[in-house]
Structure 1
Amino acid sequence: MEIITSAKPLFAILVSLIATILISITGEKARNLREAWTIIASIVKFTIVASMLPDILNGRVIEYTLLAITSELVLQFKVDAFGILFALTSSFLWIITSFYSIGYMRGHNEKNQTRYYACFAIALSTTMGVAFSANLFTMYLFYEGLTFATYPLVVHHETKEAKIGARKYVLYLFISAKLFLLTAIAITYYLAGTLDFQKGGIFTESVQKAYISLLGIVFLLYIYGFAKAAVMPLHSWLPAAMVAPTPVSALLHAVAVVKTGVFAVLKVIFYIYGVDFLKVLYFSDIGLFLAAFTIIMASIIALTKDNIKARLAYSTVSQLSYIILGPLLLTYSGMIGGIIHISNHAFAKITLFFCAGSLYVCAHKTAVSELDGIAKKMPWTMAAFTIGALGMIGIPLTGGFVTKWYLLLGSLEKGSIDIVIVLLLSSLLNAGYFLPIVYRAYFKEFKGNHVHHAHGESHTEIRENPFMAIPLTITAIISLIVGIYPDLLIQLAQEVLK
């Protein structure tokens, strides 16, 4: 494998940090310029990330060392197939979310918009840092940075409910990282003598044999230490974070926070433990059970939620565990399915959250029970929602179908009929909480033609906001494209497993 030394990974991280400074300086006095910095930075970031793709597809790896604190604690970046898949998805969706945020923030007259755009930019820098981390030390720093960068976004409205939700969000993630993750990293360093990510894992055969039970416990510490993966029971921070504005929810659930959690878990599976070792480590079966349990239980809870964002939140908890379940099947097809679901879920779920925000801003609808006939007034929003929902269910021609196809194949390769049942039952539950929304929107009679604002005196005809309708249409179309033409995602996933 050819290694290239390049500062491009660092530039991809720095772009949005520079944008943060420009956004903060510009402030409210020039809203158009402030938002222009956001869009320019997102495009530049994506361009830098995309420029590294040809080298990665040709089997090369890009490395850059920023700082060596000691011989073992090194702030270093490495761009490989797995990192570029995550980074491409995140940076591209930042462009779309930036346009969507303009429509949402202006359409709903949100306060503290400068802080919102600045923290959003910092969050994407820390996400890139996780994607391109060459070792656990670097990953930990950026992982923690993401928690603190997104706290102001969750508490954005500064209401009592927002403060409670944000406090729960940061406490869950902060305590789990300090209590579980740091312990796991310390034991890993003690046993392996390194924190560098290496294909096939870093534990020698003698260490594996001597400390197999301890390494099993450490493996579970990683799963719960990276609590952003939202494996039950450390999941309730995620629904609590729904007090945030909808673009933030989209960021949390599709682009940055939760994907950082599952990405980190998969890095541990592939580059700290290695597939061969996990095949003899019975604790991996415990992880598989936890993922399967989360998939089913979160879907059942989603069925009970009338609030749109709450239903989507529990859907996310369920879908994230697909990403963990696939690699823990320890079969080739299962691992492919888990890896590509990072992107497949991202495009479908961000579409659904964009639609929820559009319904809120344009029609002031927040509950499933309020959506009767809404498709007649908001056709673009509900068409996109339908596509996103079909992707979550796993209907053919969507990215979700490709994911579930590979996961089912992986389950059969493993001979796990119980996991096959989990996947089929999960799809039925997905249909159970998504299709009633589509049915209400298209086949029930619309009631009323106006938005009734909180004060009761204002009546505005329901109209879709182009700044919101266009981004959600684009992400819906892409969620179909990655289902019909999944070649790039599958190729990157195959590069990860070489």
Structure 2
Amino acid sequence: MYSIYSIQPLLAVAAPLLAVPGIISARTPNIREAWSFAAALLLLALLACMVPAVLAGHTYTWVLAEVLPGAPIAFRVDAFGMLFALVSSSLWVVTTVYSIGYMRAKNEHAQTRFFGYFASSIFCAVGVAFSANLLTMYLFYELLSFSTYPLVAHHQNEESRKAGRKYLGFIVGTSIGLVLPAMVAVHHFTGSLDFASGGIALGAADSTTLTVLLCLLLFGFAKAALMPVHVWLPAAMVAPTPVSSLLHAVAVVKVGAFCIMRVVTGTFGVETLQALHLNDVITGVAAVTMLAASLIALSQDGLKRRLAYSTIGQLSYIVLGAGLMTTAGLTGGMLHISMHAFGKITLFFCAGAIYVATGEKYISRLNGIGYRMPWTMTAFLIGSLSIIGIPPTGGFLSKWYLLNGCIGSGQWVLALVLLVSSLLNAAYFLPIVYRAWFCAPDQAQHSGPVREAPLACIVPPLITAGISVILFFYPYPFLNLARLAAN
């Protein structure tokens, strides 16, 4: 294994940003959206060029600028970063198709601004994925917060502005108040902010200091929505559904979970945390969030809010994998980034399609919707099965690895929590499917001929639902990348 010094990581990070001037200056909607597709395909091509070497165990590096001693602005493409970048870039393509159908069908205002900030958000997400150190990752994490704020507050009414303020307040407040001091402390103790396979030397810090640093980073990366810094996420559901898809599957929340996984493995190191039993802190927070979010989801009648609390719980599976600190646990946590992404984006696509076609936003008003929108609700069923973790969907594989990680490390309580959480997933998703297909005829609120949303709102969820099934039978390259990163 060796490191390849190449400009390719920089080009991959910059590819989404190159679309922004074209999007802003485009004179027609078709040209504007063509820029998004062109940038997405360029990004995928650049990633494809690097995948073979990364799967062989090599890395790509590029130093952009020396800012501080031991903390340059630098990029490094390894297996874990490549996994996240592949998820973000591939879903950018289908989300762009969906956004065209949704935004045009609802005749949303400021569509040029929407697509411009969307491309900027992907730029930030890939920047996080390929960050070589904590400083670079922090800068792109912050840029992502400000790039997504206009998307959350897109409607520009009082409700969306309030949600936007809460979003920035939690996300930026925690990163500045918690992550920044922790980063300064790490540099003080080690003289470096680089990520290393076994962590960097934090031996100069005592156990109490390390515990505080871990908690600062665990809750400081609030995009992971661990309780109690999760309240921004349900509030952000006032945004258009394509934005919700971005928040929950493509970029934002996955960036938070990715950052936690990265600092656990690359800054602290598995051996250091296990020696001080700090992995129990991580798994404890993850387990509480997992169960609490699932219980709250049961009480939500708003479809997007139920999906939001589901996301909060599902992100904790990734954090749980980081805390297990076994090969199987780490593999499951990393793999869940991709498996959850395809399943959850399917569900949000379906929620948006239902809203476009019927104007319905509440679960209690979806009786009989399966007969009116059979394609949409079939995709919803598949997405639900993936989130629950039922074969033949990809979500089963990531949860299987996590369960093996719990059992392999003797964490039987965590294994039970994982199983109970999955049962709760079924409890808040399957009743929606039952309402759609099996309610009594006299209770059906939707009947008559098939009337689906526009084609651009139907094809994307069918594609992502199909991929969720394909990933059960052929989970590569995501599984290979997760295995490589976990070892």
State TM-score, norm by structure 1. Answer: 0.95
Question: 33, 44, 47: which is aligned to 1:49?
Answer: 47
Given that 1:23 and 1:37 are in contact with CA atoms closer than 8 Å, whether structure 2 keeps it comes out as yes
In 2, the alpha carbon distance for the partners of 1:226 and 1:399 equals 26
The structural deviation recorded for 1:51 is 1.6
Corresponding residue for residue 28 of structure 2: 30
Corresponding residue for residue 139 of structure 1: 137
Corresponding residue for residue 409 of structure 2: 414
**Percent of paired sites with the same residue:** 48
Deviation by residue 1:255-312 (Cα, 9 ceiling, x = unmatched):
1000000000000011111111111123321221110000000000000000000000
Given that 1:129 and 1:139 are in contact with CA atoms closer than 8 Å, whether structure 2 keeps it comes out as yes
AA in 1 matched with 2:118: F
SS in 1 for 2:275: coil
Corresponding residue for residue 471 of structure 1: 460
Corresponding residue for residue 455 of structure 1: none
* Alignment gaps of 5+ in structure 2: none
2:471 paired with 1:482: yes
The structural deviation recorded for 1:489 is 2.0
AA in 2 matched with 1:138: T
2:357 paired with 1:362: yes
The structural deviation recorded for 1:448 is 4.5
SS in 2 for 1:4: strand
In 2, the alpha carbon distance for the partners of 1:428 and 1:449 equals 31
Given that 1:393 and 1:431 are in contact with CA atoms closer than 8 Å, whether structure 2 keeps it comes out as yes
In 2, the alpha carbon distance for the partners of 1:427 and 1:224 equals 24
SS in 1 for 2:138: helix
Would the alpha carbon gap of residues 406 and 461 (structure 1) be closer, same or farther in structure 2, given more than 3 Å must change?
Answer: closer
Runs ≥4 in structure 1, deviation > 3 angstroms? Answer: none
Corresponding residue for residue 120 of structure 1: 118
In 1, the alpha carbon distance for the partners of 2:464 and 2:117 equals 23
Given that 1:449 and 1:462 are in contact with CA atoms closer than 8 Å, whether structure 2 keeps it comes out as no
Would the alpha carbon gap of residues 293 and 448 (structure 1) be closer, same or farther in structure 2, given more than 3 Å must change?
Answer: closer
Corresponding residue for residue 497 of structure 1: 486
Corresponding residue for residue 391 of structure 1: 386
Where does 1:437-476 land on structure 2 (aligned, <5 Å)? 437-444=432-439, 445=441, 446-448=444-446, 462-476=451-465
Question: 62, 70, 74: which is aligned to 1:72?
Answer: 70
In 2, the alpha carbon distance for the partners of 1:272 and 1:72 equals 13
The structural deviation recorded for 1:193 is 1.0
In 2, the alpha carbon distance for the partners of 1:267 and 1:108 equals 39
Given that 2:190 and 2:200 are in contact with CA atoms closer than 8 Å, whether structure 1 keeps it comes out as yes
Given that 1:253 and 1:349 are in contact with CA atoms closer than 8 Å, whether structure 2 keeps it comes out as yes
Count of aligned residue pairs for this structure pair: 484
In 1, the alpha carbon distance for the partners of 2:353 and 2:476 equals 32
Given that 2:369 and 2:447 are in contact with CA atoms closer than 8 Å, whether structure 1 keeps it comes out as no
The structural deviation recorded for 1:72 is 2.4
In 2, the alpha carbon distance for the partners of 1:24 and 1:489 equals 34
In 2, the alpha carbon distance for the partners of 1:24 and 1:332 equals 45
Given that 1:408 and 1:420 are in contact with CA atoms closer than 8 Å, whether structure 2 keeps it comes out as yes
Given that 1:217 and 1:283 are in contact with CA atoms closer than 8 Å, whether structure 2 keeps it comes out as no
Where does 1:321-400 land on structure 2 (aligned, <5 Å)? 321-400=316-395
In 1, the alpha carbon distance for the partners of 2:413 and 2:157 equals 45
In 2, the alpha carbon distance for the partners of 1:59 and 1:284 equals 27
In 2, the alpha carbon distance for the partners of 1:180 and 1:10 equals 28
Where does 1:157-196 land on structure 2 (aligned, <5 Å)? 157-196=155-194
In 2, the alpha carbon distance for the partners of 1:223 and 1:448 equals 45
2:19 paired with 1:19: yes
The structural deviation recorded for 1:323 is 0.2
Given that 2:74 and 2:131 are in contact with CA atoms closer than 8 Å, whether structure 1 keeps it comes out as yes
The structural deviation recorded for 1:31 is 1.0
Deviation by residue 1:47-98 (Cα, 9 ceiling, x = unmatched):
1112210110111100011111233231100000000000000000000000
Deviation by residue 1:318-353 (Cα, 9 ceiling, x = unmatched):
000000101211222111111100000000000000
In 2, the alpha carbon distance for the partners of 1:292 and 1:70 equals 37
The structural deviation recorded for 1:396 is 1.5
In 2, the alpha carbon distance for the partners of 1:421 and 1:265 equals 23
In 1, the alpha carbon distance for the partners of 2:258 and 2:276 equals 21
AA in 2 matched with 1:3: S
2:2 paired with 1:2: yes
Farther off after superposition, 419-428 or 488-497: 488-497
Corresponding residue for residue 270 of structure 2: 275
In 1, the alpha carbon distance for the partners of 2:446 and 2:279 equals 54
In 1, the alpha carbon distance for the partners of 2:200 and 2:207 equals 14
Deviation by residue 1:228-263 (Cα, 9 ceiling, x = unmatched):
000000000000110110000000000100000000
Given that 2:2 and 2:59 are in contact with CA atoms closer than 8 Å, whether structure 1 keeps it comes out as yes
Given that 1:216 and 1:284 are in contact with CA atoms closer than 8 Å, whether structure 2 keeps it comes out as no
Given that 1:362 and 1:462 are in contact with CA atoms closer than 8 Å, whether structure 2 keeps it comes out as yes
Corresponding residue for residue 130 of structure 1: 128
The structural deviation recorded for 1:461 is 8.3
Farther off after superposition, 303-312 or 278-287: 278-287
In 2, the alpha carbon distance for the partners of 1:381 and 1:252 equals 21
SS in 1 for 2:68: coil
2:284 paired with 1:289: yes
In 2, the alpha carbon distance for the partners of 1:412 and 1:126 equals 36
In 2, the alpha carbon distance for the partners of 1:216 and 1:30 equals 54
Corresponding residue for residue 97 of structure 1: 95
* Alignment gaps of 5+ in structure 1: 451-459
Corresponding residue for residue 216 of structure 1: 211
In 1, the alpha carbon distance for the partners of 2:425 and 2:122 equals 29
Given that 2:393 and 2:468 are in contact with CA atoms closer than 8 Å, whether structure 1 keeps it comes out as yes
AA in 1 matched with 2:215: L
The structural deviation recorded for 1:413 is 1.0
Given that 2:127 and 2:137 are in contact with CA atoms closer than 8 Å, whether structure 1 keeps it comes out as yes
The structural deviation recorded for 1:213 is 1.4
In 2, the alpha carbon distance for the partners of 1:122 and 1:89 equals 16
In 1, the alpha carbon distance for the partners of 2:65 and 2:446 equals 61
The structural deviation recorded for 1:467 is 0.4
In 2, the alpha carbon distance for the partners of 1:239 and 1:19 equals 30
C-alpha RMSD over aligned residues = 1.3
State TM-score, norm by structure 2. Answer: 0.97
The structural deviation recorded for 1:447 is 2.6
Corresponding residue for residue 227 of structure 2: 232
Given that 2:80 and 2:482 are in contact with CA atoms closer than 8 Å, whether structure 1 keeps it comes out as yes
AA in 2 matched with 1:156: H
